[in-house]
Amino acid sequence: MLSNEGIAGTELVAFERPRSDGPVRFAIVGDPHVPVDENAHAKLYKPTTMLERVVEDCNHREFDYLFSVGDVTREGVREEFDALDDILDGLDVPFAAVPGNHDVPNEFDSHDGLPVGRFADRYAPDGLPFALDIDGLRVVGLDSSSAPEVADSHDGYIPESQLDWADDLLDEVSDAIVLVHHNLPAAVEQFDDYRKVADPTLGRPPVLRSPEGLVEVLSRHDISLVFSGHLHIPGMTTTGTVREVLVPSTCTYPQGYLVVEVDRSGTSVRFVPVSTPSEATAAFNRRCELGPKAAALSGMAAVRLATAPLTWEQ
């Protein structure tokens, strides 16, 4: 067990909404990218070990749920899902996940991936998309990764049928938290602003195509908080009226997970590290060595953690 047991972590953000009679307390892990062999991939730093620490830490805290915003595997190989399941076998709280772009079969895959229906059977309550209630708080999981429209890329897309489902579902509640892998437009714009300063030649990460439909549905129902992954960095931004918190990765710097607490006073989000200081340094250096884009994202993550809590959009 890490020495951070019992420590609340670093406050990232706090909001007046959503609220719950709860209190509700859950964890969110982003982009663990579990491989078959954690030492075989230069892009990842101790991914299996770090997720095992998340599980161990969650078992020592009173959480209602552990969620993942996707990319639970390195490349969606079936053996990687088995490795993930071996880790989750030690988890004492319920687990649910939405798929990331690396979890679903793509046209360019050279391996036999896991169909999204099988992903849903294993990791989503009652299929994808999913909705569940925790002491009156509605948590909605959307699938931005498996649509045929993006099978030739790592981009995201949410089809009309899923938007209609969410539209009808959100009519029933006064507020909800939404989980999705790909980011809303303002998060990508943040990276655009950063690369203009760091390196204008940097390419964009894969994006959510045609995001306007999702933003419209969320705005119409006054959904106040979305959690996304994909970029492997912590952050907070707002697209229209919709606030979005970016969930950091456990497989690359800064290697930690989020603790979300919702009660009658509002919502707080804290970052809990699972790496030691020396491991965090090694993970930072490892990621920076991967190339300019990875180095830029590492720099963004370091700045955001150094300036937490994020009281403005950064």
Q: Output the DSSP codes for 34-92.
A: B-SSTTS-TT-SSHHHHHHHHHHHHHTS--SEEEE-S--BSS-BHHHHHHHHHHHTT--
Range list of H helices, 89-159: 116-123
Give the gyration radius of the chain's Cα atoms: 18
Kindly tell me if the per-residue pLDDT of 3 is higher than 70. Answer: no
Distances (CA, A) of 81 to 4, 33, 62, 85, 210: 28, 10, 26, 6, 30
Evaluate whether residue 312 is within a structural domain. Answer: no
Concatenate the DSSP letters of all residues of 214-277 into one string.
HHHHHHHTT--EEEE-SS-S-EEEEETTEEEEEPPBSSSTT-EEEEEEEETTEEEEEEEE-S-H
Evaluate whether residue 104 is within a structural domain. Answer: yes
- The domain that holds 22 is classified in CATH as 3.60.21.10
Tokens of 309: 């809590």
Kindly tell me if the per-residue pLDDT of 2 is higher than 70. Answer: no
Q: Which burial class, exposed, middle or buried, applies to 136 when counting CB atoms under 10 A from its CB (0-12, 13-18, 19+)?
A: middle
Evaluate whether residue 153 is within a structural domain. Answer: yes
Evaluate whether residue 85 is within a structural domain. Answer: yes
Helix (H, G, I), strand (E, B) or coil at 208: strand
Domain that holds residue 284: 10-306
At 137-191, the pLDDT tens digits run 999 999 999 999 999 999 999 999 999 999 999 998 878 999 999 999 999 999 8
At 70-84, the pLDDT tens digits run 999 999 999 999 999
State the Cα–Cα distance between residues 308 and 135, nearest whole angstrom. 29
Q: Kind of pairing, strands 225-228 and 242-246?
A: parallel
Over residues 114-130, mean pLDDT: 96
At 5-18, the pLDDT tens digits run 444 689 999 999 99
Pairwise pLDDT comparison (100 vs 22), residue with the higher score:
100
The pLDDT confidence band at residue 199, using thresholds 50, 70 and 90, is confident
Evaluate whether residue 199 is within a structural domain. Answer: yes
Q: Write down the pLDDT at residue 7.
A: 45
Structural domain count of the chain? 1
Evaluate whether residue 2 is within a structural domain. Answer: no
Tokens of 254: 């800064």
State the Cα–Cα distance between residues 270 and 273, nearest whole angstrom. 10
Evaluate whether residue 314 is within a structural domain. Answer: no
At 230-261, the pLDDT tens digits run 999 999 999 999 999 999 999 999 999 999 99
Over residues 275-286, mean pLDDT: 95
Evaluate whether residue 33 is within a structural domain. Answer: yes
Residue appearing with tokens 């959480």: 63
